[in-house]
């Protein structure tokens, strides 16, 4: 377990009582995706969730009543005035010196502002601004005086009447994300350290990732295909290494933690390049992030099989018109499995993550998504047929019978025939990875 986080007196969610076994209630959300876009294309107002490129979230995590929020935040602001360590004093002076001209309208999440118990962190530059809020650098010092740069996800609270519905929804989503993420500790999963709540926002402190995402890697390799004898995709060694690291993370989630991610996609695979030179040569360290749609698996499969009407994901639909639509997708359309599009899907199926993993392996090898059409309705059709171009995979730089067998196992239409993550890790393509261990038994 994450000791740094659980020991934090200010960790708001350590006080929450969200049951790990609770299936969330879903909400219907419009979702039209006609392009795969860079995370940078997701920029919208920090409090708006209406970006068409965002993953769809279901809500229902327990909410913190207003009175409770106030009690917690007032306790927190009181703690900021208590005595400071030398490290904290240094950070505070950095904070004051760093600001020469005050911005017209200061916000507590501006660069140079502090947050956390005894002003432990100073906010740095913006890394990514999404529909949920913003990700920024967070500077701190250890008690031994070592400077550290981490990252912080900041989700603002509603400040005006008009923002209140959006702001509350964002906070429910974040609380849910943290209620799963806080338990996870694995070399290929982005680590959450601490969570703070103020009257203004919630701050999730996590490891800083330097190096972009798998989406960026695929985009780069598309641009350089011509230099590689026209053979598309990542170099075989890199494609295999990233795929193996992602499979290791999914094995940990599915088998050890009984968690389903439900938003496995290129943009949610961070590539950490702040590693030793030798490891950089190998492509760096992959870290899966974004647990906004993740949830604990339910042990009772009959309860798991909730109807969309009950879950709130889709409105009541007449029996005759029960066909898949893009508006009933949870996650991102291009990565959704045939069952994930079905109105009778199980909500928390690990098989959906394995399908999305197959989509990623195909994209790493070919530079293209296997199911993609400018018209979302056509993309749905392609997914339902589960037909993808194995010729493209064969012609790819990393193409081989072994990788085709692996992708076939993951993009199997019927859930019964689809591989589990243990079978994925035991595939011929991964022979020799992770010290040669096979079959899902430790080592990853």
Ligand X SMILES: Nc1ncnc2c1ncn2[C@@H]1O[C@H](COP(=O)(O)OP(=O)(O)O)[C@@H](O)[C@H]1O
Q: How far is the CB of 44 from ligand X (least distance, A)?
A: 10
Nearer to ligand X by Cβ, of 206 and 359: the residue is 206
> In this chain, which stretch among 26-34, 126-134, 192-200, 396-404 interacts with ligand X, using CB under 6 A?
126-134
Sequence-separated (6 or more) residues with CB below 8 Å from residue 64: 12, 16, 72, 171, 175
* Piece of 76-84, 265-273, 310-318, 344-352 that binds Mg ion (CB under 5 A): 265-273
Given the rule CB under 6 A, which of 61-69, 130-138, 162-170, 400-408 is the region that contacts ligand X? 130-138
How many chain residues bind Mg ion (CB under 5 A)? 2
Query: Which of 268, 285, 326, 350 is the binder for ligand X (CB under 6 A)?
Result: 268
Q: Which does 135 bind (CB under 5 to 8 A by kind): Mg ion, ligand X, none?
A: ligand X
Which of the choices ligand X, Mg ion, none does residue 333 contact, using the CB cut-off of 5 to 8 A by kind?
none
Query: Which residues in the 190-219 window bind ligand X by CB under 6 A?
Result: 190, 206-209, 213
Backbone angles phi, psi at 183, to 5 degrees: -90, -5
What's 44's DSSP letter?
-
Q: Report the C-alpha gap between 123 and 356 in whole angstroms.
A: 34
According to CB under 6 A, which residues from 39 to 58 bind ligand X? 39
- Kindly state whether residue 123 participates in binding ligand X, applying the rule CB under 6 A: no
Residue 132 touching ligand X (CB under 6 A): yes
Candidate segments 16-24, 185-193, 261-269, 321-329, binder of Mg ion by CB under 5 A: 261-269
Q: What is the smallest separation between the CB atom of 111 and ligand X, expressed in angstroms?
A: 16
36 contributes a contact to ligand X by CB under 6 A = no
**Which option in ligand X, Mg ion, none does residue 194 bind, with CB closer than 5 to 8 A by kind?**
none
SS (HEC) of the chain: CCHHHHCCCCCHHHHCCCCCCCCCCCCCCCCCCCCCCCHHHHCCCCCCCCCCCCCECCCCCCCCCHHHHHHHHHHHHHHCCCCCCHHHHHHHHHHHHHCCCCCCCCCCCCCCCEECHHHCEEEEEEEEECCCCEEEEEEEECCCCCEEEEEEEEEECCCCHHHHHHHHHHHHHHHHHHHHHCCCCCCCECCEEEEEECCCEEEEEECCCCCCEHHHHHHHHHHCHHHHCCCCCCCHHHHHHHHHHHHHHHHHHHHHCCEECCCCCHHHEEEECCCCHHHHHCCCEEEECCCCCCEECCCCHHHHCCCHHHHCCCCCCCHHHCCCCHHHCCECHHHCCHHHHCCCCCCCCHHHHHHHHHHHHHHHHHCCCCCCCCCHHHHHHHHHHCCCCHHHHHHCCCCCHHHHHHHHHHCCCCHHHCCCHHHHHCCHHHCCHHHHCCCCCCCC
CA atoms within 13 A on the CB side of 117: 12
333 binds ligand X (CB under 6 A): no
Q: Which of 12, 23, 135, 218 binds ligand X (CB under 6 A)?
A: 135
Partner from Mg ion, ligand X, none binding residue 39, C-beta < 5-8 Å depending on class: ligand X
**Binds ligand X (CB under 6 A): choice among 109, 267, 334, 353:** 267
Report if residue 290 touches ligand X, rule: CB under 6 A: yes
Q: State the nearest-atom distance from the C-beta of 54 to ligand X, in Å.
A: 6
290 part of the interface to Mg ion, by CB under 5 A: yes
Binder of Mg ion out of 59, 140, 248, 268 (CB under 5 A): 268
Q: CB-wise, 53 or 140, nearer to Mg ion?
A: 53
Under the binding rule (CB under 6 A), the answer on residue 151 touching ligand X is yes
Least separation in angstroms between residue 192's CB and Mg ion is 14
Residue 64's binding partner out of ligand X, Mg ion, none, with CB under 5 to 8 Å set by partner kind:
none
190 binds, among ligand X, Mg ion, none (CB under 5 to 8 A by kind): ligand X
From the list Mg ion, ligand X, none, partner contacted by residue 354 (C-beta under 5 to 8 A by kind): none
SS (H, E, C) 321-361: HCCCCHHHCCECHHHCCHHHHCCCCCCCCHHHHHHHHHHHH
Q: Among Mg ion, ligand X, none, what binds residue 209 when CB lies within 5 to 8 Å by partner kind?
A: ligand X
In the complex, the residues that contact Mg ion under the rule CB under 5 A are 268, 290
In the complex, the residues that contact ligand X under the rule CB under 6 A are 39, 127-128, 130-132, 135, 151, 190, 206-209, 213, 267-268, 270, 289-290, 292
């Amino acid at each position: 377990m994450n000791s740094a986080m659980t020991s934090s007196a200010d960790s708001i969610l350590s006080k929450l009582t969200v049951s790990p076994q609770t299936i969330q209630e879903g909400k219907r959300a419009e979702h039209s995706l006609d392009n795969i876009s860079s995370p940078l294309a997701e920029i919208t107002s920090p409090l708006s969730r209406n970006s068409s490129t965002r993953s769809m979230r279901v809500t229902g995590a327990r909410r913190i009543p207003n009175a409770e929020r106030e009690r917690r935040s007032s306790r927190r602001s009181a703690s900021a005035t208590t005595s400071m360590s030398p490290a904290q004093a240094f950070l505070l002076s950095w904070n004051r010196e760093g600001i020469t001209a005050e911005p017209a309208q200061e916000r507590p999440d501006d660069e140079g502002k502090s947050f956390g118990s005894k002003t432990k962190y100073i906010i740095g530059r913006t890394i990514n601004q999404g529909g949920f809020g913003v990700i920024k650098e967070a500077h701190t010092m250890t008690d031994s005086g070592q400077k550290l740069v981490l990252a912080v996800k900041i989700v603002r609270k509603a400040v005006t009447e008009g923002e209140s519905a959006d702001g509350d929804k964002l906070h429910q989503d974040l609380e849910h994300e943290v209620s799963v993420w806080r338990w996870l500790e694995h070399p290929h999963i982005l680590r959450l350290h601490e969570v703070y709540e103020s009257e203004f926002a919630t701050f999730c402190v996590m490891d800083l990732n330097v190096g972009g995402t798998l989406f960026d890697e695929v985009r780069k390799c598309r641009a350089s295909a011509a230099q590689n004898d026209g053979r598309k995709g990542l170099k075989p060694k890199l494609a295999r290494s990233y795929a193996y690291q992602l499979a290791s993370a999914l094995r940990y989630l599915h088998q050890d933690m009984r968690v389903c991610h439900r938003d496995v996609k290129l943009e949610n695979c961070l590539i950490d390049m702040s590693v030793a030179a030798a490891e950089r040569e190998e492509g760096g360290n992959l870290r899966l992030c974004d647990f906004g749609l993740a949830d604990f698996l339910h042990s009772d499969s009959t309860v798991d099989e909730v109807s969309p009407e009950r879950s709130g994901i889709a409105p009541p639909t007449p029996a005759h018109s029960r066909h898949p639509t893009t508006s009933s997708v949870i996650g991102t359309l291009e990565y959704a499995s045939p069952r994930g599009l079905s109105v009778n899907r199980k909500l928390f199926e690990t098989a959906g993550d394995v399908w999305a993993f197959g989509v990623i392996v195909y994209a790493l090898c070919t530079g293209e998504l296997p199911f993609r059409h400018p018209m979302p309705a056509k993309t749905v059709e392609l997914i339902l047929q589960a037909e993808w171009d194995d010729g493209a995979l064969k012609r790819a730089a990393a193409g081989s019978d072994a990788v085709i067998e692996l992708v076939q196992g993951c993009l199997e239409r019927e859930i019964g025939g689809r591989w589990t993550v243990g079978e994925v890790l035991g595939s011929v393509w991964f022979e020799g990875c992770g010290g040669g261990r096979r079959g899902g038994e430790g080592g990853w």
